[in-house]
């Protein structure tokens, strides 16, 4: 590490954190304030965490701007992993209006899809409703 740079200077270019492992809104907001949204990636520690409930938490219970939701949920990963823009993935950065807020949640009420209960702090209460 160079002497003229602080550790915080490396966030967003060389150091990144993820949401995996906790789904804690206060922790996410604190991280955003301290290191900025460009250093945070949405992720889920499957199979130890529920993918649908992680998406519900992120889309419906995190009080941040649509732009920050899309950056954390999609665009930051595309900046860190530029090969995702190449074949066979061909992913591109999006704006909030292009992917829905966050773009992670299931479409509630869509025929044939499972609707998941709201995120809560007790894993034992996170169950699918059919």
Which residue in this structure is represented by tokens 């299931």? 106
Among candidate residues 4, 45, 68, 71, the one labeled active-site is: 45
Catalytic residue list contains 45: yes
CB–CB of 84/59 below 8 Å? no
Q: How far apart are CA 64 and CA 29, in angstroms?
A: 8
Give 75-120 as a DSSP string. Answer: IHHHHH-GGGGSTTT------HHHH-SSS-S--TT-TTPPEEPPP-
- Considering all CA atoms of the chain, what is the largest pairwise distance in Å, rounded to the nearest integer? 58
* Residues that are catalytic: 45
């Amino acid at each position: 590490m160079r002497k003229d740079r602080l550790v915080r200077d490396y966030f967003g270019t060389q150091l990144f954190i993820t949401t995996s492992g906790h789904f804690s809104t206060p922790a996410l907001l604190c991280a955003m304030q301290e290191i900025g949204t460009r250093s945070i990636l949405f992720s889920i520690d499957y199979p130890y965490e529920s993918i649908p409930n992680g998406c519900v938490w992120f889309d419906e219970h995190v009080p941040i701007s649509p732009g920050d939701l899309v950056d954390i949920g999609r665009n930051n990963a595309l900046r860190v992993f530029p090969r995702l823009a190449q074949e066979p993935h061909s992913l591109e950065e999006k704006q909030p209006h292009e992917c829905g807020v966050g773009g992670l949640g299931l479409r509630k009420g869509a025929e044939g899809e499972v609707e998941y209960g709201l995120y809560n702090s007790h894993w034992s209460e996170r169950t699918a409703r059919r």
